């Protein structure tokens, strides 16, 4: 579930269009490290439509498009085809990183296309993207300039395994406990309106976190406030 608080309709529309790379039937491309290699000897990423295939060999994949992304602003002019390729490379990068350090693999793989679509359509850090629980934030971290430090994730003095406000301006809310994203987003939206600003606020929450009463209290409050 993605909850949007937005005074402007254009960016949410762009988000839904970008997200169609995941939701339009079975258009999602899957990644497998094929038998060919790039000039540096790294396994090349190939696109396939015939099922879930991913490489867990521990080899570092070639990621030529992801290599050009150090900030969400670098994603703004990418085509849908480029976004699909970026998602494939991002998935391979997460598998490689987590195979080295351990960490939250499945949750992060599950939101790759979502993270790509959000950062393509919205303008973080002005627009606030809040990840509930936060263990699915690895794609977000990589796309917001922390890829070079992913080998330190969950290590002493390394990257946090969750969003952390003093780690990046793109981490709008420090998570770790479930079901807090809607309340946090609501507070940011109220503050935005009081200040007369026009930025978007996006809360990303999953089905597990929706079992908590705190999430329902937040939705009730949002309805009461008309947001």
Instruction: Report the 10 Å Cβ neighbour count for 219.
Output: 15
* pLDDT tens track for 4-18: 665 543 445 555 566
Q: With 90 as the cut, is the pLDDT of residue 200 above it?
A: yes
Across residues 156-178, what is the average pLDDT? 93
Q: In this predicted structure, what is the pLDDT of residue 223?
A: 95
Q: What is the DSSP letter of 69?
A: -
* pLDDT tens track for 113-163: 999 999 999 999 999 999 998 999 999 999 999 999 999 999 999 999 999
Q: Which CATH class is domain 30-34+41-225?
A: alpha beta
Query: What percent of the chain has a predicted confidence (pLDDT) above 90?
Result: 68
d(CA 128, CA 138): 17
Q: With 50 as the cut, is the pLDDT of residue 35 above it?
A: no
Nearest to 178 by CA among 121, 116, 131: 131
Distance in Å from the first CA to the final CA of the chain: 16
**Widest Cα–Cα separation across the chain:** 59
Residue spans per domain, the chain: 30-34+41-225
Nearest to 1 by CA among 220, 216, 205, 214: 205
Question: Could you tell me which residues come within 8 angstroms of residue 121 by beta carbon, excluding any fewer than 6 positions away?
Answer: 11, 12, 14, 15, 17, 18
- Global pTM value: 0.81
Across residues 40-55, what is the average pLDDT? 56
Which phi and psi angles does 93 have, rounded to 5°?
-65, -40
Mean pLDDT of the chain: 84
Across residues 188-215, what is the average pLDDT? 95
* pLDDT tens track for 56-84: 777 889 999 999 999 999 999 999 999 99
Q: With 90 as the cut, is the pLDDT of residue 23 above it?
A: no
């Amino acid at each position: 579930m993605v909850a949007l608080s937005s005074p402007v309709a254009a960016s949410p529309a762009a988000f839904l269009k970008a997200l169609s790379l995941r939701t339009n039937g079975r258009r999602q491309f899957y990644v497998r490290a094929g038998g060919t290699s790039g000039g540096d000897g790294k396994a090349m990423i190939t696109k396939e439509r015939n099922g879930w295939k991913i490489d867990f060999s521990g080899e570092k994949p070639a990621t030529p498009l992801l290599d050009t992304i150090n900030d969400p602003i670098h994603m703004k002019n990418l085509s849908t085809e480029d976004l699909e390729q970026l998602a494939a490379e991002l998935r391979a990068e997460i598998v490689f990183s987590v195979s080295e350090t351990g960490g939250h693999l499945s949750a992060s793989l599950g939101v790759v296309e979502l993270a790509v679509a959000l950062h393509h359509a919205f303008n973080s850090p002005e627009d606030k993207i809040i990840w509930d629980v936060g263990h699915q934030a690895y794609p977000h971290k990589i796309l917001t300039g922390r890829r070079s430090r992913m080998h330190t994730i969950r290590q002493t003095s390394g990257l946090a395994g969750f969003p952390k406000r003093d780690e990046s301006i793109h981490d709008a809310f420090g998570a770790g406990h479930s079901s807090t994203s809607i309340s946090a987003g609501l507070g940011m939206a109220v503050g935005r309106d009081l200040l007369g600003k026009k930025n978007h606020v996006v809360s990303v929450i999953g089905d597990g976190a929706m079992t908590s009463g705190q999430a329902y209290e937040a939705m009730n409050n949002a309805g009461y406030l008309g947001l």
